[in-house]
Amino acid sequence: MLLKSHQMNLSSQEKRWLPWLGKTGKLAMRWACMINKSRYPILEQTFEGIAATRVRILTEWAQQQWIHLASLAEELERRFPDVDAEYLQKKKESFHDFSELFVIDRTGRVMQSTWNRRGGDRKNVPAAVLERALNGRFLHGPYVDADTLAIGPSSSAGFHDAVTLMFYLPLCKQGETVGCLCGRVPNDVIGDLIQREAGPRRAPAMRCRSWSSCCTSRAARW
């Protein structure tokens, strides 16, 4: 049977990253794979199913965020260039996964933000990102942004760091793009989505403890 794991185009560096010795070293992994060879199809199908479910959940979640932002953008476009800070803050509170909403003009200057420590700067909108965002909705990330750490978590009560997803939705008035509505989501929100999906699921029983690590590393690359 032709398996997807046999078709992985691994670089020479990826093939050499495991040490020779240890519970998850090359020798242990080779032995675990050999004695579980007959179980490859079942295990691959299991992880394929998990990956497909996670892709669906994340795609549906992203589409829901775009719907939230689109409804807000319609109101902002009617009032532009006046951006009501109180209205923006109220919307942010109802969009639970966003830690910050802000509006920028065509130059990347922040016109209004729900984060009271933000000034009118453009440091968080690199030129390449701004150009892409002004030409259509754009989801940027994950990337590291110190402001995400400083602002704090949104809907996640667990681990929080500086890893960021940023939604950019162009604002148009009289047929011309005049700026962007931006929504910041801490990456821990995505972690929570995946954890909720995983629930109490358990992987199929393995003959060798090392085999679990082997399958996990393969699934991560799929």
Give yes or no for a contact between 122 and 107, defined as CB atoms under 8 angstroms apart.
Answer: yes
Query: CB-based burial of residue 128 (10 Å sphere; 0-12 exposed, 13-18 middle, 19+ buried)?
Result: exposed
Please give the Cα distance from 55 to 48 (Å, whole number).
Answer: 11
Give the CA angle between residues 213, 215, 221 to the nearest 5°. 105
What's this model's pTM, rounded to 2 decimal places? 0.74
CA 155 vs CA 93, 138, 148, 186, 190: distances in Å: 10, 22, 13, 9, 10
Percent of the chain with pLDDT over 70: 85
- Calculate the dihedral angle through the C-alpha atoms of 52, 56, 62, 63, rounding to the nearest 10 degrees: 150
Reported as a single tens digit per residue, the pLDDT across 171-221 is: 999 999 999 999 999 999 998 888 876 665 444 443 333 333 333 333 333
| Contact partners, residue 22, CB within 8 Å, separation at least 6 | 28
Q: Domains of the chain: which residue ranges?
A: 50-195
State residue 121's pLDDT score.
57
Q: Tokens 């801490």 correspond to what residue?
A: 186
- Interval 19-38: pLDDT, tens: 889 988 989 988 988 898 88
The SS3 of residue 49 is helix
More confident residue, 166 or 202: 166
* CATH class (in words) of the domain with range 50-195: alpha beta
